[in-house]
A = this chain, B = another copy of it.
């Protein structure tokens, strides 16, 4: 769980809209990639600096400006100036650790979501903040790090395949969102595999190490819930928005994306339930096993206690102990002890103690 909480402390007391670099610096310098397309034309290039955006704004094609890296404050500031973004929007883009949300500023719509990813072979899930600005000029997408989640979309635009080349920036926004949501399923399936593995293990061979895994997964759940629940509100906000930036034919796709966010939440809740049940099973199987041990051992100890007393009796050194000089005294003691053990055993059995 990357800790994004500390990012706000540095800013307490500063006026709203102050741009200072907060969050871990994750890439060396900011890269701006511009894709410009409509049904007929297509161009793709890396821009040298933010200023280069200025003249593009008025062309009639759809523009998709992808900004990777959020630490060059000047670049963000220039983009804000060129596209007329409110200082608070710039601040939100630059400040990672935002809750996913959607806000309609009239001229443009600002969407914040979380991208989930893994680092190498680690089990831990990290999240990266992705901000999208949908305006009449096209779409601006801001990523903390270089990512490949948008590659298939880029590929399809290049190849002029599917609906995307003919549709407007709202459809592009939907596609970007949908790519992020599809990515959730990949992460969740991995988590789900671990949950199911644990579910099998607790039934088959529960051992104390499993409890650590369960708690680790519960912590992951807290993290995932926090990152993914609000995405539903984001999509539902776009659906209910009366902005003219979203054309009616896109709504049906947003409804589909909404349905997927509901499925995401459903999966998380089902995994939580499954984990809780797994924990219950583990605890009751542990407790059963411990009881088993304690019971058998206690029964065994108890069987020997009277015997040890009996042999103690005949270890006493009294001068007058008539049993000691009996011919079959020793054998008699063994007989008495045998009967005692047998009686106790029978009693325990009848009580179903073991």
Judge whether B101 and A273 touch: CB under 8 Å.
no
Judge whether B277 and A222 touch: CB under 8 Å.
yes
Q: Which of A8, A105, A290 has the most CB of B within 10 A?
A: A8
Chain B residues with CB under 8 Å of A270's CB are 222, 226
Chain B residues with CB under 8 Å of A41's CB are none
Chain B residues with CB under 8 Å of A48's CB are none
Count of identical protomers in the assembly = 5
Kindly state whether residue A72 has any CB partner on chain B within 8 Å: no
Judge whether B274 and A222 touch: CB under 8 Å.
yes
In the assembled complex, the Cα of A288 lies from the Cα of B211 at a distance in Å of 10
In the assembled complex, the Cα of A327 lies from the Cα of B305 at a distance in Å of 29
Interface residues of A, Cβ cutoff 8 Å to B: 3, 5-6, 8-9, 11-16, 86, 88, 92, 98-99, 101, 103, 105, 149, 151-153, 156, 161-164, 175, 178-179, 182-183, 185-186, 188-189, 192, 196, 203, 208, 211-212, 215, 218-219, 222, 226, 252-253, 255-256, 259, 262-263, 266-267, 270, 273-274, 277, 280-281, 283-284, 286, 288, 290-291, 293-295, 297-302, 304-309, 311-321, 323-330, 333, 351, 353
Judge whether A179 and B13 touch: CB under 8 Å.
yes
Chain B residues with CB under 8 Å of A188's CB are 5
Judge whether B315 and A316 touch: CB under 8 Å.
yes
In the assembled complex, the Cα of A325 lies from the Cα of B314 at a distance in Å of 16
In the assembled complex, how far is the CB of residue A33 from the closest CB belonging to chain B, in whole angstroms?
Answer: 18
Judge whether B314 and A309 touch: CB under 8 Å.
no
The residue that A5 contacts in the complex, of B3, B267, B321, with Cβ under 8 A, is B267
A315 to B, closest residue via Cβ: B315
Known contacts A15-B175, A290-B291, A320-B327; A219/B274 CB under 8 A: yes
Q: Which of A6, A105, A270, A312 has the most CB of B within 10 A?
A: A312
